[in-house]
Amino acid sequence: MAARLPHVVSWIIDSGATEHITCDDINLFNIISPAWEPSVKIPNGESIPVHVVGSLYLPNGFHLERVLYIPKFQCNLLSVSRLTSDLNCTFTFFPDSCILQDVPSRKLIGVGKFRNGLYYLECPKNEAVAMSVTSNLWHQRLGHASDGKLHHISSLKGFHRCNNFCDPCVRAKQTRLPFSTSAIKTTRCFEMIHCDIWGPYRCDSISGARYFLSIVDDFTRGVWVYLMKNKSIVPQFLIQFCNMVNTQFEQKVKRIRTDNGVEFQTNILFDYYKRSGILLETSCTDTPQQNGVVERKHRHILEVARALRFQSGLPIDFWGECILTVVYIINRLPSPIISNKSPFEMLF
């Protein structure tokens, strides 16, 4: 984890403030939305503009919702009324300090110090935003990844873990493929690739796509996805992929495993297979298990894409962009089948 900076961020505990206000770095915001308050009037009568409204995690674990970001403000204000309502806690004030307690458990969750006539909640400021967020936020940022995957990301070790219920995960991941896990049968990148087509979807993506082509490398489990308006352009994308492998990785695809889809058995592709020395392996009719690697990858991609869309509230026609985002994420997450390395590590 990143080292901490030597100074602290002080929050004034203000019983008269109706909203949390910060003048600190906007990068600390986890979620940023347009300002719903055009300006805030300060005690001297001056009105100063609100730039944005968002939520943030303090390093001590407090999650502050609806925080006003005002760069021209001279301090950070912590609203007592908002905090007691949002965190279900109580404040008790003493001559030299104040304490925050969780109402149900009566557990001490924070301490403020009295200084120059004010009570301050002091939080060590970290150099990296990663230090101030919980596992739930990383779970959402990394495509609703499991705790097991997060545990193997070294830069996230030691962060605060929360086991909150994740509604998008439950809604998006209600089914599982019955296929058993396939062992890796190759010894180098692109010795064999698994290909399959998914679609048509019930509506066009914003780019007009109804299908997508998935290509999975057997050795690294890296995945590439191409959005398509129709299946007829499969040969174009498959040849384009093989050329990319040859140029960027100085490797040649030796075998291609697919189902019995006619899109992989066109005259154009048969001629390309012959010229390139590529062997085509097809599964038996009505036996998708024989193409299980890419079938499972489809299910993984679709589940995570649904979770991302549910979490973000994006319109349905952004499904294609969600798919591409998911592929970017899972190529960078550790996988147990490749010794908890990521496909990106294996490839580069």
CA distance 132 to 125: 9
Contact (Cβ atoms closer than 8 angstroms) between residue 168 and residue 144: yes
3-state secondary structure of 39: strand
Residue 191 to residue 277: CA distance in whole angstroms:
12
Structure tokens at 13: 């505990």
Start-to-end CA span in the chain (Å): 23
Contact 192, 218 (CB under 8 A): yes
63 contact partners, CB below 8 Å, separation of at least 6: 55, 56, 57, 86, 87, 134
Helix (H, G, I), strand (E, B) or coil at 79: strand
Token look-up 């005259």 returns 267
Is 14 a known active-site residue? Answer: yes
Residue 56 backbone phi and psi in degrees, to 5: -150, 155
Residue 166, SS3 per DSSP = coil
The residue from 14, 24, 196, 217 that is catalytic is: 14
Please name every residue paired with 255 in a beta bridge, in sequence order, or none if there are none.
192, 279
Beta strands in 118-204 (DSSP E): 118-126, 192-198
Q: Which residues are catalytic?
A: 14
